[in-house]
Structure 1
Amino acid sequence: MLTLTAMTTEVFQHYLKNAITDYASDKVKNGTWSKNNAHELAVQSYNHFLPNGIDTPNHYLYSIYLKETLIGHTWIFFDSTEKMIFIYDIHIFEKYQNQGYGTLVMTMLEEQAQQLGAKKLSLHVFGYNQRALHVYQKVGYHSTDYNLSKEL
């Protein structure tokens, strides 16, 4: 049985360290940031969006459990004015990927969004992350914009 549990402060500290590293790496892979300052920019981004950590209003950070085993994390933001949830992060640990858990988490987030009164769910996926894109499309998401680049 898969469950979403509010992230504890202890888990958040571990999550934050890994999320910053992963985000910096994603931005470098995507060609948005240089490797030289990616970590610093990622720290600034997380400080901007989560100035009060897990206590930042309208932000919901969850640990994903399979029975009693932690298998990942997710982070959403509820914009009450727009009645919209933005999914900032879904991370399933590598050992548990490709087993349908990401799809289940997406369904659980839809239920959470409805409970909060949201009428829309949105997210961003890096262009190179075809596996995540496939999951999102599988559960009914469609592209709203394309940003294209070409290295010279």
Structure 2
Amino acid sequence: MEISLKAMDKTAFTAYRKQAIPAYAKDNVESGRWDESDALARSKQDLDRLLPQGVATDNHFLFNIIEQDRSRKVGHIWLKLEENMRSKSAFIYDIEIDESYRRKGYAKSALAGIEIVAAELGATSLGLHVFNYNDAAMALYKSIGYQVVSHNMQKVISS
């Protein structure tokens, strides 16, 4: 599937933000990390902390994923460049393919595209986070060479 990554402008970021806050809240509720009562507020707080200047935030790169043939948006991807003492790495904070375009190769193509962007920025590795309940995403990432480097675990306890 041929795609291109188009840098988000302020208008595209406003649309992304409107969708991303409830989506991230839902993921955290479904994973058991957050209570539904304050999930939206927590999600908004996280996004505002990570992107205080929106698309102009240093070392953050937000793209719409565009289908080449029809020039339509099929999803988005957010990359952060992290500079360490000896190397640069990159981290995918968010990738999502719109529901009607899933399971058609767009995510795999977008991940290949963002890998090129990360390499052009000088990164020598690319990481991401996936919620444990998302079996389809884990299978995709594993199929293209991502490896688990840590696990977060949680146990619910009662007082």
TM-score norm. by structure 1 comes to 0.96
Q: Which runs of 4 or more aligned residues in structure 1 lie more than 3 Å from their structure 2 counterparts after TM superposition?
A: 149-152
RMSD of aligned Cα (Å): 1.1
- Which of 87, 102, 106 is the matching residue for 2:107? 102
Which residue of 1 is the match for residue 65 of structure 2? 64
Q: Which runs of 5+ in 1 are unaligned?
A: none
The residue type equivalent to 1:70 in the other structure is: K
* Aligned counterpart for 1:113 among listed residues 93, 118, 127: 118
Q: Secondary structure, in 3 states, of the residue corresponding to 1:37?
A: helix
In 1, the alpha carbon distance for the partners of 2:61 and 2:133 equals 26
Stretches of structure 2 lacking an aligned partner (at least 5 in a row):
none
Query: Could you tell which deviates more after superposition, 57-66 or 100-109?
Result: 100-109
- The whole-number CA distance in structure 1 between the counterparts of 2:155 and 2:47 is 28
Question: Which letter does structure 2 place at the counterpart of 1:107?
Answer: A
Superposition map of 1:54-93 within 5 A: 54-67=55-68, 68-81=71-84, 82-93=87-98
Matched to 2:139, the amino acid is: H
User: d(CA) in 2 for partners of 1:41 and 1:5?
Assistant: 28
Amino acid aligned to 1:75: W
Deviation at residue 151 of structure 1 after TM alignment: 4.4
> Given the alignment of the two structures, is residue 33 of structure 1 paired with residue 26 of structure 2, yes or no?
no
TM-score, normalised relative to structure 2: 0.92
Instruction: Tell me, yes or no, if structure 1 residue 138 matches structure 2 residue 143.
Output: yes
Identity among equivalent pairs (%): 37
Cα distance between partner residues in 1 of 2:152 and 2:91: 19
1:3 is matched with 4
Shift of 1:146: 1.6
Q: Deviations over 1:71-100 (max 9, x none)?
A: 000000001234000000111001110011
Structure 2 CA distance for aligned equivalents of residues 87 and 136 of structure 1: 12
Look up the match of 1:125. 130
Distance 2:141 2:11 in 1: 29
Q: Are residue 52 (structure 1) and residue 53 (structure 2) matched?
A: yes
How far residue 147 of structure 1 moved from its aligned partner, in angstroms, is 2.2
